[in-house]
């Protein structure tokens, strides 16, 4: 009987990782209409930066505290996201390229990031210590690894912060205005270039955070980006591309279907690999807007 509460903790933690990746997609997609599949590699970059700061396994072998890893991930990924926008996306937009051009360019960025990570950190998976150790934590019947509870707490904090940003700040309103109507937003004086750059920086920071948080459970490795990109994108489609809450809901739903299915469905566990794709197809057919519909322009 202890299985279900344990599984709820595990699925919620996994769902939170998917949700963070979905949020990273959404932060870029909403104001720019660009789907950035390099998000997964950005998460991997965050994971490797975490390993480099926290352990002696990779340069600069700091064995530093967790807060330092967090700051390093947010700062470096923010800069990288901004740089990617400036170098690859902005020139294309300036020249009036179609929407597919930045998407293709970002696929190139994906390859560059993956190969760079392999060259810098090698092909071996690198483990990372969790800030609160590996011990099992139990909150009543809900038991799991301390890192799983940290992931859940941190994810909810990020989502609350992002929601408040969009709902309560002028900058958030500017993002929303650009998302609703780019041309009208420009006409009322919103700096589109700055919004786009900030969107890429924020998306990269959230993706990097997802990588940092999941590494103690999975290790950092150069192949981790693509599965995350797929799971995050699926979560985004399920939840709906228009709202922050949708990313969270989509991530959680995907993880619960995966893990409850793997545990309780009378099918070979290998078939659970297909769950994200089945969900993706089902939602694209039946509810292409996702679970939560975006706000309409007034």
Partner 1 sequence: MSSCRLSCWAVAALLAVQTASASAQDTIKIGVITDRVASAKFYAEPVTRGVELGAKVLNDKGGALGKKLQLIIEDDQNKPDVSAAKARKLVDDGVAAIVSNTGSPATQQAQTVSLETRTLHLTPANSADTLTTLLDNPYFFQTGPLASIQLATLMAYTKSRGFKAVAIVRDNSALSQSFADSFRQGLDKVGIKVALEEVIPQGATSAVANLQKVRAEKVDAILQAGVLGPEMLQFFRAYQQLGMKEPILGSYNLSIPAYLTMAKDLMEGVVFVDAFDLDKPEAKLFADVYVKEYGEPPSSLPAYGWDGIRLLALAMEKAGSLDKEKLRAAMQSTTSFVGAIGAKGASWGFRDGKRTGFDPQGAVVRVIKDNKHGPVVYAGQK
Binding site for partner 1 (CB under 8 A): 3, 6-7, 10-11, 13-14, 17-18, 57, 118, 122-127, 134, 136, 143-145, 214, 217-219, 221, 223-224, 226-228, 230-231, 255, 258-260, 262-263, 268-270, 272-273
Nearer to partner 1, 60 or 270 (CB): 270
Nearer to partner 1, 31 or 225 (CB): 225
Nearer to partner 1, 95 or 135 (CB): 135
CB of 53 to partner 1, least distance (A): 18
Cα dihedral 113, 192, 190, 244 in deg (nearest 10): -50
User: Which residues does residue 40 pair with via DSSP β-bridges, in sequence order?
Assistant: none
CB 237 within 8 A of CB 287: no
Which tokens in the block code for residue 56? 């002696």
CB of 199 to partner 1, least distance (A): 26
CB of 226 to partner 1, least distance (A): 7
CB of 70 to partner 1, least distance (A): 20
Nearer to partner 1, 62 or 226 (CB): 226
Q: Could you tell me what percentage of the chain is helix, strand and coil, using 3-state DSSP and rounding each to the nearest 5?
A: 75, 5, 25
CB of 48 to partner 1, least distance (A): 13
Number of neighbours of residue 119 by Cβ within 10 angstroms:
10
Nearer to partner 1, 125 or 294 (CB): 125
CB 216 within 8 A of CB 53: no
CA distances, 230 to each of 92, 255, 271 (Å): 25, 13, 17
Closest by Cα among 23, 254, 274 to 156: 23
CB 73 within 8 A of CB 212: yes
Nearer to partner 1, 97 or 230 (CB): 230
């Amino acid at each position: 009987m202890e299985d279900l509460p344990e599984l709820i903790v595990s699925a919620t933690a996994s769902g939170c990782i998917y949700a963070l990746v979905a949020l990273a997609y959404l932060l870029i997609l909403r104001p720019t209409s660009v789907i950035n599949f390099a998000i997964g590699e950005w998460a991997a970059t965050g994971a490797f930066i975490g390993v480099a700061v926290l352990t002696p396994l990779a340069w600069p072998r700091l064995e530093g505290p967790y807060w330092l890893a967090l700051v390093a991930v947010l700062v470096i990924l923010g800069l990288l996201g901004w740089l990617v926008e400036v170098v690859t996306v902005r020139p294309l937009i300036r020249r009036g390229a179609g929407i597919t051009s930045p998407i293709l360019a970002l696929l190139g960025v994906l390859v560059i990031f993956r190969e760079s990570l392999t060259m810098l950190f090698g092909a071996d998976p690198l483990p990372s210590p969790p800030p609160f150790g590996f011990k099992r934590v139990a909150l009543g019947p809900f038991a799991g690894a301390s890192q799983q509870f940290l992931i859940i707490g941190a994810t909810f904090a990020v989502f609350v912060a992002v929601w408040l940003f969009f709902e309560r700040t002028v900058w958030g309103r500017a993002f929303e205005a650009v998302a609703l109507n780019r041309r009208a937003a420009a006409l009322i004086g919103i700096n589109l270039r700055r919004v786009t750059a900030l969107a890429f920086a924020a998306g990269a920071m959230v993706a990097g955070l997802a990588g940092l948080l999941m590494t103690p459970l999975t290790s950092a490795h150069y192949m981790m980006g693509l599965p995350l990109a797929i799971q995050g994108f699926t979560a985004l489609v399920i939840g709906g591309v228009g709202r922050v809450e949708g990313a969270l809901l989509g991530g959680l739903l995907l993880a619960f279907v995966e893990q409850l299915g793997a545990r309780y469905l009378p099918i070979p566990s290998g078939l659970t690999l297909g769950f994200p794709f089945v969900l993706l197809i089902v939602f694209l057919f039946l509810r292409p807007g996702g679970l939560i519909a975006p706000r309409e322009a007034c």
